[in-house]
Amino acid sequence: MIRAVKGTRDILPPSSAVWNHVESVAREVFRAYNYDEIRTPVFEETQLFARGVGADTDIVTKEMYTFDDRGESLTLRPENTASVIRAYIEHRLDQLPGVCKLYYIGPMFRRERPQKGRYRQFSQIGAEAIGSDSPATDAEVIEMVTEILTRCGLSGFEIYVNSVGCPDCRPKFVEALKQRLVDVAPGLCADCQRRATANPLRVLDCKIPHDQPAIETLPSILDHLCPACSSHFEQVRMFLTDRAIPFQVKPRLVRGLDSYMRTTFEFAHGALGAQNSVLGGGRYDGLAEELGSKVHAPGIGFSIGEDRLVLSLEEAAPGAHRDPLQIYIAPMGGAALRHCAGLAHELRRAGVRVELGPSAKLKRNMETANKLGARYALLVGDNETGAGVYALKEMSSGEQRNLDRAQLLETFRSPSL
């Protein structure tokens, strides 16, 4: 028996209904904030991610699916910000008026250890606002994410924000961090011992519980921000407060990509356990230039782990987003089955969710209707076919009424059904 590859999975009903709900809500919110969809290839030149994500990040050094394509190194996308910026540069989207606002929904690939809500093929819903360095844009992005999660039905999530400085002030912080890590790193995990010299900021991103007490003793970047970064972060917090969006400042919060600067943020939810992040994002003002842009293109974005968001929603309200079967048509006899096929066609064209049963005895059809969770059963025998009047039975109450074809169609055109 051939099974799904480790770290991948099949998304089956009724879970697929939650996925459709989440993606539909996201598209509605993106439209309200004037974002348009971009679809990038699922693989790119490996160098794009090495430069855009960071050569010393765990993503690049450990997790990418890279393969040789006749002498060219290609990689399945482990994230999509670098791809979006590549497309922004390649297609000269900087020529468009205003801020370039793009969103995406699709699969990403990382060869990490599978765990609750994390897979080697996973889906992200993300967005990038390119062409603005305003703290108001940062706050608007965080507001938009809040709106997506709230409309999806998620409550009880927490918002963490931080600033990771800029090329002017961050080096001084990194140097202070390096000096402190000389004493602290030997007691940390092997990855953090490596990061302590190669990329000290990544130590702050460590998720190993044993390391957290020592990490809490490390210097805070908020004590090293330059006046410009300090002012920017203060305004972000002001705009969030104006919108009555609750948040916590988390000085150890950094993101996994080297390109981030100034505002970073994360949304967490308790249903996911210790690894409780639903999404993260931040500002990356120098990424476009790093990837070859000849114009300055500051930006901020985020990506929602859709697998983890769906898991949170399913645990919070099981079955809440399932689209129920509205009507099960139960034909009794060959002539009735042929007649019912036409009825089913008309109802489906009217937007009604219909299951057409086989020609069978009434008891068997009613058992199937019950198992499928149908709200109504339409009972159609040869007599009903000839008379053009059908028995509609409400499954929960057992109440039954007779309707002709026009009445039946009018009944199921009602928004309440």
pLDDT tens by residue, the chain, 417 residues: 999 999 899 999 888 999 999 999 999 999 999 999 999 999 999 999 888 676 556 667 678 899 999 999 999 999 999 999 999 999 999 998 999 999 999 999 998 877 777 889 999 999 999 999 999 999 999 999 999 999 999 988 999 999 999 988 888 888 888 888 888 878 888 888 888 877 888 888 787 888 888 888 888 889 889 999 999 999 999 999 999 999 999 988 876 566 788 999 999 887 555 557 889 999 999 898 888 888 899 999 999 999 999 988 888 777 666 788 999 999 998 889 999 999 999 999 999 999 999 988 889 999 999 999 999 999 998 777 777 888 999 999 999 999 998 898 888 876 555
The answer to whether residues 237 and 93 belong to one domain is yes
Rounded Cα gap, residues 325 and 372, in angstroms: 7
Does some domain include residue 343?
yes
Q: What is the pLDDT of residue 376?
A: 96
Q: Which of 274, 11, 271 is nearest to 121 (CA)?
A: 11
Residue 137 lies in a domain: yes
Instruction: Quote the pTM value.
Output: 0.86
In this structure, are 84 and 149 located in the same domain? Answer: yes
- Contact between 262 and 229 (Cβ < 8 Å): yes
Q: How far apart are CA 275 and CA 397, in angstroms?
A: 45
Q: What's the confidence (pLDDT) of residue 396?
A: 92
CATH number at residue 359: 3.40.50.800
Range 40-43 contact pairs with CB under 8 angstroms and sequence separation of 24 or more: 40/77, 40/80, 40/83, 40/84, 40/86, 40/87, 40/104, 41/77, 41/83, 42/76, 42/77, 42/106, 42/107, 42/109, 43/74, 43/75, 43/76, 43/77
361 assigned to some structural domain: yes
- Is 98 in the same domain as 141? yes
Range of the domain at 68: 15-169+225-316
Q: The CATH number of the domain where 132 resides is what?
A: 3.30.930.10
- Which amino acid is it at 257? L
Place of tokens 């690049």: 60
Choosing from 281, 316, 351, the residue where a domain stops is 316
| Counted domains in the chain | 2
| Residue type (1 letter), 367 | E
| Same-domain check for residues 358 and 291 | no
Any domain includes 182: no
**pLDDT score of 319:** 66
Shared-domain flag, residues 258 and 346: no
Tell me how many helices (H) and strands (E) the chain has.
15, 16
Q: Nearest to residue 143, comparing CAs of 161, 164, 123?
A: 161
Question: Same structural domain for residues 308 and 354?
Answer: no
Domain boundary among 292, 316, 340: 316
In 3D space, the residue among 247, 260, 301, 250 whose CA is nearest the CA of residue 137 turns out to be 301
200 within a domain of the structure (yes/no): no
Residue 51 lies in a domain: yes
Residues 380 and 274 in one domain: no
In-domain check, residue 408: yes
Residues 256 and 275 in one domain: yes
Q: What pLDDT, on the 0 to 100 scale, is given for residue 283?
A: 95
Number of other CB atoms surrounding residue 335 within 10 Å: 15
Q: Tell me how far apart the alpha carbons of residues 222 and 134 are, in angstroms, rounded to a whole number.
A: 19
Is 257 found in the same domain as 165? yes
Within this chain, do residues 150 and 24 fall inside the same structural domain, yes or no? Answer: yes
Q: Do 239 and 297 fall within a single domain? A: yes
Domain boundary among 316, 342, 371: 316
Strand 158-163, strand 277-283: pairing: unpaired
- Both 29 and 64 in one domain: the answer is yes
The confidence score (pLDDT) of residue 126 equals: 97
Q: Which residues contact 350 (CB under 8 A, 6 or more apart)?
A: 409, 412, 413
Judged by DSSP in three states, 76 sits in strand
**Residue 132 within any structural domain of the chain:** yes
Beta strand 100-109 with 36-37: parallel, antiparallel or unpaired?
parallel
